[in-house]
Structure 1
Amino acid sequence: MSPDTSPRGPSPWQPRDEPDLDRTVAYRVPRPPTGGEAHTVRMPSWTEPEEIGSVTLAAPPSAPGRARRARGWIVALVAAVLVGLVGGGGVWAASKLSGGGTQPQDVLPANALAYVRLDLDPAAGQKLALFGIARKFSATRDSFGGDDPRKALVTALQKDGPGLPDIDYARDVEPWLGDRVGLAVLPAADGGDPVGALAVQVKDEAAARTGIGKLGLGDGKGGLAFREGYALIAMSQRLADEYVTAAPLSGDPRFADDLKALGEQGVLSFWMDVEKVAEAGWAGASATLALPQLKGMRFAGALRFSGDYAELAGITRGGTPTKVRPEPVKIGELPVSTVAAASFSGLGDMLREQWPSIEQAAAVPGGEVLRQTLDGARAQYGLSLPDDLVTLLGRTFTLAVDEQDLDGPTPRVGAVLTTDTAKARDLVNRVQAHLNGMERSADFAIAEGDERFVIASTQDYASALDASGPLGESETFRLAVPDAGKATYAVYADLDRLEKLYLDSVPGQARPDVEKLRAIGLSGTHGEDGSAFTLRVVFN
């Protein structure tokens, strides 16, 4: 096998420090050209080897053992998204999922509010991993029992789509169905609710017209037109005819820049103009406090697969800039015995910056609950707001749970604050005195150093949290929380060590699938040009 040498550059989502952990994602399947005249491209099937450059890539044999059986449930998530996405929109959408062409954004209109793309022929490594996962997961094993992902998807949709059980895949679908599909949410011309448009890659327009008709389009149920190897399915024929002549979404500079920043688009990717979606979907949104913060904001994300984990990555661009510049969190310095942790940077400064808006929200009609909460905090605990909350949140705030005594009467739980230690000590003393006065136990253990304040359930754990630990050197942590040293927020859970809390309550038939989950992690960054996040599920 030869590694990818395309000019797109390395994928930013691949592990940097553990090149041996991802054994499949460094290979690509050649893509047909974008745009231009209609052309026919023969895409390789999933059973035949693929040519990459001058080298033939064949699917490797399945690895034995438990290590690769842990990813099947994520395919159920993909299937659920697809069924919910196209199945929930009515007959015109649910019964027409198919693929084939260049990229859906090259044919869908540029005024899209939101866009979702499914690629049934992604990069070679992801393709092999995805299909292998489906075969090992109990919920999708039957549907994904063959070698054609398009047939597998149609089989899965046949379980829920009205009239689809009568469709014969080999006769009615396979002759025209391609590999890619895109769904765009578009503004209605009359200012009403947004409408949907589906772009389906096709191999044969005549066969596609017949096959799509059998799937339910026609008889006044929608419109159909073709553009550059795609069937465009719309709510009416008038709209379909408009869409095939409109400027494409890929030509929008903001969209193009967002996808470039996102990197590898994986099996499933999506994009949203957050401001326009808010305006279109929320009655009276222009009068809310939230909408000004969303001005110009866009969101893009992708679902990706690797040998050891599934990953949902996303970015935001635009929006009202904040003056807060969070510093990296230090979640990797927790004890190696940590089983769960959450760490955030800049929350104190963000709270102070947004406090006028919070008070304004509490003062308007509908803000009664927020107002009562703030008044109760002042009265019951004697808090000075927002100053005491700013002190508590500090520059960084980390909450951690230890494996020792996890299921005992006094679990080891604690918080590490980077803050003004004198103010933090005074705050803890005031809260402790208040709780003691109410005949409640308030035995907080504390430890403190230079701008480092620790509150814990036991003194031993407070001392452990005050010292620098090696959690960041753990292989499980590194897989679940990539680039933890740069993250301005991170969440981590070691499911292998936490499962003793919940495994006994899991039904017997689901227990083997649950045991395959190794860890989950979320990490992200904030910057002047936007934010980025990575959510990973790691498998045994």
Structure 2
Amino acid sequence: MSANNPPPGQDPERTTAYRGGWEQPQEPQQPYPPQQSYQQPYGQQVPQPGQEASYGQQPAYNPQAAYGQQPAYGAPHGGQPQQNWQQQSWPQQDQYAQQQQQQGWQQQDQYAQQGWQQQGPEGFGPPQPAKKGSRKGWLIAGAAALAVVLLGGGAVWAVGAIGGGGTQPNEVLPANAIAYARLDLDPAANQKLALFQLARKFTVTKGSFTGEDPRQALFNLVNESGEKKVDFAKDIDPWLGSRVGFAAVPSGKAEPDIAVAVQVKDQAQAKAGIAKLMDGDKYGIAFREDYALLSSTQALADKFAKGEATLAENSEFTDDMSAVGEEGVLSFWADMGGVAKLAPIPAEQAAGIEPIKDARFAGALRFDSAYVELAGQVRGAKGLTTGDLQAAGLGTLPATTAGALSISGLDQMITKQWSEIQKSATAGGGAEVQQLFEQAKSKFGLDLPGDLATVLGKNFMVALDSQGLDADQIKAGVRVATDPAKAQAVVDKIEKAMAASGQPAPQIAKVPGDGVFTAATSEEYAKKLAEEGTLGDSETFQTAIPDADEATFALFVDLDKVEKLYLQGLEGDDKANAQVLRAVGLSGKQSDTEANFSLRVLFN
């Protein structure tokens, strides 16, 4: 069973975000003009991004293909590659896809010999060189850090054959793990296709066909000092698979036991290669299915390998990952209660973490041809909110909005946690914070936390308009779901206090409404902000904020509308790559027991 493939009903050739019933799958978007096609290794062309609909009838593939073997696109068994896709009409393409589903793909022996060096339509460029560090380069630390190197180091690699099946690390790691992370260099087909398409958008990856094997990046990380005489091609490549899993397991002590699952292709070669790589460092190794299980001692490794129950049989884990949806290239999970037991919480902070002490957190990093998404879920919490929160409502802002932030429930959070906020400020040496509170009371005559809760309201929204930015005529404002009369009274207190002290009061236009208080930098924009806008009709907004109607918090920045502000200081490739960025969206929903979030970066 593969935990990597999309849930039932999800097209495995598409990437769609979904959140356990809070969001319906979004229809594929095709907002972009066709780009210049690129060549497959066998001389055949892949559809352009504007032709993504044809991916719904991809040729069948063999998920059991040997590591490093690439199916030949358009080459039936014993035959030659089909005619260039761009030389066919759409009906012919459909017929072509149907033919391939019946005939299957031919494995290329030559490609298997070449491995990762000439894979995919376009490689993804070499990684950043590993930094020099301590000699202790053993796999537990290396596996945990690899995700950061691969996904945050400025380089993205192509992946192997269209597949994503096979055993996952959670199927061999212990069921009582309190934390888990998985890096999959052989994800589902839709993830690979999306990675190929995204790579074409950036100059740093667009023209490269010889991206370094990401497995070799793991080797370089573990052998960062270069002192261990290990040759990747001879000692590592013959046995190393494409998946790595990391688990923290309760030990009964202050620190948990660590288990690392490394996918292998040959146990004997893996045992010899790992021994040479460890070079005398203490470790334990045992095997379970097609994974080598590594830990600090041989007793622990044997215990993990012989354990009957696995994390894949942990119902909380499987339910949480199902709620996250597609696991993409990187996924993670943690029992927050179990983790909290390892780190005693100071008494003054205990109340603040009470709602989440028994919760679990799960998430994934996944790709689409139009964006990259980091998604997460918190489940099993208690008392996160009181009652239903108001929708964030960013879609009701003016269509000309360049950026906006909306948060619901700040009023109840301030009121409910005010004593804890004051205690935390005092415990953390927050003399300045305490002084600020005192000035708010004495200088401005504010009643805390009541007046602060009124200003923040049931929903607090701040927006910046794109019009006027070129002329330095900033149009910005806030729209608060609150009692407008009480909000006006708070503003009057502040303005009166500033006038009494000789400070000029800011020129703010205020527009009270039915349960809404709006203030802005100009009368014109205040009225515009108070009205029902159409930002939600924008395709860019809909992609960046997929759950706009349900979200209780949201952040949206349309980079295309503000790029003039930051492109002026860029040149060459830096400018070209910055222009690829389209928008950023962060959104999510919070209830009494659950919370989720989606962070998306969109590309032109």
TM-superposed deviation, 1:320:
2.4
TM-superposed deviation, 1:45:
3.0
Match of 2:181 in 1: 116
1:245-264 to structure 2, matched below 5 A, reads 245-246=306-307, 247-264=309-326
Q: Are the equivalent residues in 2 in contact too, given 1:119–1:179 (CA < 8 A)?
A: yes
With 273-282 and 301-310 compared, the bigger mean Cα shift is at 273-282
TM-superposed deviation, 1:303:
0.7
Distance in 2, Cα, partners of 1:28 & 1:361: 59
- The answer to whether 1:536 aligns with 2:592 is no
TM-superposed deviation, 1:507:
6.2
TM-superposed deviation, 1:443:
0.9
- The answer to whether 1:231 aligns with 2:328 is no
Name the SS of the counterpart of 1:288 in structure 2.
Answer: helix
Distance in 2, Cα, partners of 1:104 & 1:120: 12
Mark the runs of 5 or more structure 2 residues left unpaired by the alignment. 19-23, 31-48, 77-99, 108-121, 148-163
Aligned pair in 2 of structure 1 residues 521, 87: CA closer, same or farther (>3 Å)? farther
Name the SS of the counterpart of 2:242 in structure 1.
Answer: strand
Name the SS of the counterpart of 1:426 in structure 2.
Answer: helix
Residue 19 (structure 1) aligned to one of 20, 28, 35: 28
Q: How many pairs are equivalent?
A: 508
- CA-to-partner distance for each residue in 1:497-524, whole Å, 9 max, x for gaps? 2222222334654222222111000110
Residue 295 (structure 1) aligned to one of 348, 357, 361: 357
Aligned pair in 2 of structure 1 residues 493, 291: CA closer, same or farther (>3 Å)? same
TM-superposed deviation, 1:202:
1.2
Distance in 2, Cα, partners of 1:161 & 1:145: 25
1:252-291 to structure 2, matched below 5 A, reads 252-281=314-343, 284=346, 288-291=350-353
With 18-27 and 465-474 compared, the bigger mean Cα shift is at 18-27
TM-superposed deviation, 1:294:
2.2
Residue 404 (structure 2) aligned to one of 312, 337, 341: 341
TM-superposed deviation, 1:461:
0.6
Distance in 2, Cα, partners of 1:89 & 1:251: 34
Distance in 2, Cα, partners of 1:258 & 1:87: 37
Residue 397 (structure 1) aligned to one of 438, 455, 460: 460
With 103-112 and 465-474 compared, the bigger mean Cα shift is at 103-112
Distance in 2, Cα, partners of 1:382 & 1:538: 45
Match of 1:510 in 2: 574
Residue 102 (structure 1) aligned to one of 159, 167, 171: 167
Aligned pair in 2 of structure 1 residues 346, 248: CA closer, same or farther (>3 Å)? same
Q: Are the equivalent residues in 2 in contact too, given 1:503–1:511 (CA < 8 A)?
A: yes
Match of 1:243 in 2: 304
Distance in 1, Cα, partners of 2:192 & 2:300: 34
Distance in 2, Cα, partners of 1:365 & 1:343: 28
Distance in 2, Cα, partners of 1:28 & 1:329: 42
Match of 2:528 in 1: 464
Q: Are the equivalent residues in 1 in contact too, given 2:61–2:104 (CA < 8 A)?
A: no
Q: Look at both structures and tell me which one has the larger radius of gyration over its CA atoms.
A: 2
Q: Are the equivalent residues in 1 in contact too, given 2:186–2:242 (CA < 8 A)?
A: yes
- The answer to whether 1:448 aligns with 2:512 is yes
- The answer to whether 1:130 aligns with 2:177 is no
Distance in 2, Cα, partners of 1:461 & 1:308: 32
- CA-to-partner distance for each residue in 1:304-329, whole Å, 9 max, x for gaps? 11111111111001222232421212
Q: Are the equivalent residues in 1 in contact too, given 2:197–2:369 (CA < 8 A)?
A: no
Match of 1:62 in 2: none
Mark the runs of 5 or more structure 1 residues left unpaired by the alignment. 33-39, 60-71
- CA-to-partner distance for each residue in 1:361-410, whole Å, 9 max, x for gaps? 45657454443332222223221111111111111111000111225444
Distance in 1, Cα, partners of 2:195 & 2:548: 26
Distance in 1, Cα, partners of 2:104 & 2:304: 39
* TM-score, scaled relative to structure 1: 0.83
Distance in 2, Cα, partners of 1:481 & 1:427: 33
Aligned pair in 2 of structure 1 residues 58, 311: CA closer, same or farther (>3 Å)? farther
Q: Are the equivalent residues in 1 in contact too, given 2:337–2:358 (CA < 8 A)?
A: yes
Q: Are the equivalent residues in 1 in contact too, given 2:557–2:584 (CA < 8 A)?
A: yes
Q: Are the equivalent residues in 2 in contact too, given 1:421–1:448 (CA < 8 A)?
A: yes
Match of 1:388 in 2: 451
Aligned pair in 2 of structure 1 residues 5, 521: CA closer, same or farther (>3 Å)? closer
Distance in 2, Cα, partners of 1:289 & 1:124: 45
Aligned pair in 2 of structure 1 residues 458, 376: CA closer, same or farther (>3 Å)? same
Aligned pair in 2 of structure 1 residues 512, 177: CA closer, same or farther (>3 Å)? same
Share of identical aligned residues, percent? 39
Aligned pair in 2 of structure 1 residues 442, 361: CA closer, same or farther (>3 Å)? same
1:63-462 to structure 2, matched below 5 A, reads 90-93=137-140, 102-134=167-199, 137=202, 145-146=209-210, 151-155=213-217, 158=220, 161-163=224-226, 167-189=230-252, 191-214=253-276, 216-246=277-307, 247-281=309-343, 284=346, 288-321=350-383, 322-362=385-425, 366=429, 368-437=431-500, 438-462=502-526
Q: Are the equivalent residues in 2 in contact too, given 1:101–1:178 (CA < 8 A)?
A: no
Distance in 2, Cα, partners of 1:133 & 1:113: 34
Distance in 2, Cα, partners of 1:283 & 1:83: 36
Match of 2:116 in 1: none
1:108 partner amino acid: L
Q: Are the equivalent residues in 2 in contact too, given 1:410–1:457 (CA < 8 A)?
A: no
Q: Are the equivalent residues in 2 in contact too, given 1:392–1:419 (CA < 8 A)?
A: yes
With 452-461 and 322-331 compared, the bigger mean Cα shift is at 322-331
TM-superposed deviation, 1:203:
1.5
TM-superposed deviation, 1:89:
8.4
2:174 partner amino acid: P
TM-superposed deviation, 1:137:
4.5
TM-superposed deviation, 1:223:
1.5
Aligned pair in 2 of structure 1 residues 242, 218: CA closer, same or farther (>3 Å)? farther
Name the SS of the counterpart of 2:589 in structure 1.
Answer: strand
TM-superposed deviation, 1:236:
2.1
Distance in 1, Cα, partners of 2:234 & 2:435: 64
Aligned pair in 2 of structure 1 residues 528, 56: CA closer, same or farther (>3 Å)? farther
With 413-422 and 229-238 compared, the bigger mean Cα shift is at 229-238
Name the SS of the counterpart of 1:290 in structure 2.
Answer: helix
1:130 partner amino acid: L
Q: Are the equivalent residues in 2 in contact too, given 1:312–1:536 (CA < 8 A)?
A: yes
Distance in 1, Cα, partners of 2:106 & 2:505: 64
Name the SS of the counterpart of 1:271 in structure 2.
Answer: strand
Name the SS of the counterpart of 1:341 in structure 2.
Answer: strand
Distance in 2, Cα, partners of 1:122 & 1:29: 16
TM-superposed deviation, 1:423:
0.5
TM-superposed deviation, 1:17:
4.8
Match of 1:478 in 2: 542
Match of 2:117 in 1: none
TM-superposed deviation, 1:174:
2.8
Aligned pair in 2 of structure 1 residues 334, 95: CA closer, same or farther (>3 Å)? closer
